[in-house]
Amino acid sequence: MLKKLVFIALVSSIFAGCASVPMESEEVSEKAKSFNPPTNGNSGLYLYRKLGMGTALKKDIYVDNKCIGESAPDVFFYEEVKGNEEHKISTESEFSPNDLLLKTETGKNYFIKQYIRPGAFVGGAAVELIEEEEGQKDVSDSKMAKKGTCDKKNSNHL
């Protein structure tokens, strides 16, 4: 009976609580939500995570092996990359690196959703390309996190 209670408490702690990350100002966040075209021959990447499974978990996001930041539910990042090139978007995962290769077009914005995958243990993360309309809605409902803070001990998989 005690083992069952401990297990239930452990599982509940995984699904409960909220991870927090450093946030940008409301002004910076709202400006990014205007979805303007990227500058100077670049492409724009909106990298975000919605509320869902694993809300207490923070997961690193990388673009071309560069730390973008540590995600949490209902936060997003905006990053400009060179247009007309392939870029690797990665997320931290306990089991293996999870990468998305994306061939970008100059002047276009892309929406990449990070999500926590269910399994024996919650913690595996993945990224997927989302249609623009859905991505804009998801980002509009989120707040912008500050870039540049990743959990260095987990960055060796990239």
The pLDDT tens digits for 8-61 are: 334 434 444 456 899 999 999 999 999 999 999 999 999 999 987 666 788 899
Instruction: Write the CB contacts of 74 (distance below 8 Å, at least 6 apart in sequence).
Output: 49, 50, 51, 141, 142, 143
Instruction: Answer for the pair 90, 53: CB distance below 8 angstroms, yes or no.
Output: no
Collapsing DSSP to helix, strand or coil, 35 comes out as: coil
Of the pLDDT bands very low, low, confident and very high (cuts 50, 70, 90), residue 153 is low
Q: How many CA atoms lie within 13 A of 58 on its CB side?
A: 15
The pLDDT tens digits for 72-112 are: 999 999 999 999 999 999 998 776 668 999 999 999 999 99
Q: How far apart are CA 38 and CA 33, in angstroms?
A: 13
Of the pLDDT bands very low, low, confident and very high (cuts 50, 70, 90), residue 148 is confident
Region label for 26, one of left (φ > 0), alpha (ψ between -120 and 50) or beta (otherwise): alpha
Task: Sheet with 98-103: list strands edge to edge.
Answer: 66-71, 59-63, 86-91, 98-103
Of the pLDDT bands very low, low, confident and very high (cuts 50, 70, 90), residue 150 is confident
Element (H, E) at 14: helix 2-15
Instruction: Write the CB contacts of 78 (distance below 8 Å, at least 6 apart in sequence).
Output: 32, 44, 45, 46, 47, 144
